[in-house]
Amino acid sequence: MGIENFPEQLRAAIQQGFLAREFEAGLNARLGFRAVADREIFPNAIGETLTKTRRSLKAPVIEPLLATGNTNFDNGLSPSGWSIEQYTLSINQYGDTIDLNMVTTGIGIASQFLANAQTNGMQAMQSLDRLARNALFGGVPGGVGGYLGGNTRVTVSADSDTYGIAVDDIRGFQSMIVAGQVRPVAGGPGMTVTVGGGVYTLVDAIPDNRSRSTAPGGVSGELRFSTEVSAADGRAGNAVIASTAPLVLRPNGKRTTADLSPADGDTLGIQHVLAGVASLRRNNVPMIDGAYNCYLDDLQLLSLFRDADFKYLYRGAYGSEEYRSGQIIELLGVRFVPTTEAPQQASLGGGPVHRALLLGQGALVEGDCACTGQSDIPDAERALVEMVDGVAMVTREPLDRLKQIIAQSWYWIGGFALPTDMTADASIIPTATNAYLKRGVVIESLGTDATGYGP
């Protein structure tokens, strides 16, 4: 496509790179969940799934070799292998467009042209950031659930001992890892789950036809067990936690989201963040540029600023730009990143529920399709395409009958995946937890409003 096909007042903006700069200004407007992702080039086509394999380390050897066994060609040694675990990464195409009518826009066509580019950039940034957020909290198709998975509560009390219980969210209970591969719970060896005060073997997770989950993006349903769950354990409100669930922290040791109460002061404090840091360090999770990222909304950040321990630790920094503006703060190995994309949840009786997410390196993988922005059509005959941070911005010349409407579009081909770390068990890292997903910790709390009078 020749640039001569565009109006004269737009050619300078295109030739001097103004269009790409406006789009990039929107795309990189602020830090977000996507920033934590490790980027990989995905060679497959749209709609395909790539299976990635991770290998484990081998357990340390602490027993000496027997001198009497040091014979023959094997010197008394028996070969040992390493385990594997797999995760899937699926890609799809996302995009949107906006039209610019050169006649109705009139004299402001150039400024409107650039404004459209920036608006597209903002939309693309927020779309990818939300996809990354949803993957982190809720998981991806074919995975083991997100960092909220495997942690829910009973919603309907059992009248008597029963094989099935109704729960608020079945994510994290539908799949498990068997021989390194993600398999449905149904038909497998079963998953160990704690219901109330009892431990049971889960054999199936059945979603509702119409989800009634209160969790963001949750899927309500029924969990079925190999033995009967006692009526006492199956009481409404009791916690249901998978043995392989990621860590979810709540103030005052609350077991479920519904237990959070303003009367108990269940707001975010620095000690909850430090407990999350301790869990990440127990699993030897690498930091991101020297710190763990903690994504939280502004009301949780406000609670943090009002926490006595936080004030004590940050003493002497009140004059810092970060403290004055309430922007990104680095403290005790944590980088606090305020975001408006943190998932919100309506009150369950104690006030709206807020969720911070503490993450280390490798918690999320982004797959960018290699064919984004590529075309077999010669450059002189195709639309103007600018690639910015893996996103294609496409500007098409007027093709309507009156040659008046320019199309400004963007698209991205890719997907997100949550790699598991099941093989990093206690034999490799003595302090490791049993969770499939070890590189993140969710911290649930009530918020503090701007007046300081509670949630």
Using the predicted structure, report yes or no on whether residue 21 has a pLDDT greater than 70: no
The token pair at 151 is 């942690």
Does 19 fall in a domain? no
Does 180 fall in a domain? yes
Question: How many other C-beta atoms can be found within 10 angstroms of the C-beta atom of residue 93?
Answer: 12
For residue 156, give the CATH number of its domain. Answer: 2.40.30
Beta-strand pair 239-242/191-195: antiparallel
Does 172 fall in a domain? yes
Q: What is the mean pLDDT of residues 237-253?
A: 96
Q: What is the pLDDT of residue 232?
A: 96
Question: What amino acid occupies position 91?
Answer: I
Does 288 fall in a domain? no
Alpha-carbon distances of 411 from 97, 123, 431, rounded to whole Å: 9, 11, 43
Q: What is the pLDDT of residue 132?
A: 94
Question: How many other C-beta atoms can be found within 10 angstroms of the C-beta atom of residue 420?
Answer: 22
Domain count, the chain: 1
Structural contact between residues 411 and 427, judged by C-beta atoms closer than 8 angstroms: no
Calpha distance 215→355 (Å, rounded): 11
Minimum mean pLDDT among 191-195, 298-302, 373-377, 449-453: which range? 449-453
Calpha distance 118→408 (Å, rounded): 11
Q: Domain of 214? A: 149-243
Q: What is the pLDDT of residue 452?
A: 41
Beta-strand pair 38-42/365-369: parallel
Percent of the chain predicted with pLDDT > 70: 76
Using the predicted structure, report yes or no on whether residue 200 has a pLDDT greater than 90: yes
Q: What is the pLDDT of residue 403?
A: 83
Does 196 fall in a domain? yes
Cβ partners under 8 Å of residue 21, min gap 6 = none
Calpha distance 295→280 (Å, rounded): 15
Nearest to 340 by CA among 9, 10, 30, 2: 30
Structural contact between residues 213 and 219, judged by C-beta atoms closer than 8 angstroms: yes
Alpha-carbon distances of 452 from 308, 349, 446, 447, rounded to whole Å: 14, 19, 13, 10
Structural contact between residues 406 and 113, judged by C-beta atoms closer than 8 angstroms: yes
The token pair at 50 is 């790539």
The token pair at 321 is 């730009």
What is the end-to-end Cα distance of the chain in Å, rounded?
56
Residue linked to tokens 């002497």: 316
* CA contacts within 13 A on the Cβ side of 373: 14
Q: How confident is the model at residue 205 (pLDDT cuts 50, 70, 90)?
A: very high
Does 170 fall in a domain? yes
Condensed to tens digits (0 to 9), the pLDDT of residues 320-373 reads 554 445 566 788 889 998 888 888 888 888 889 999 999 999 999 998 888 887
Minimum mean pLDDT among 63-72, 311-320, 348-357: which range? 311-320
Does 12 fall in a domain? no
Minimum mean pLDDT among 30-34, 54-58, 186-190, 291-295: which range? 54-58
Does 183 fall in a domain? yes
Q: What is the mean pLDDT of residues 116-145?
A: 90
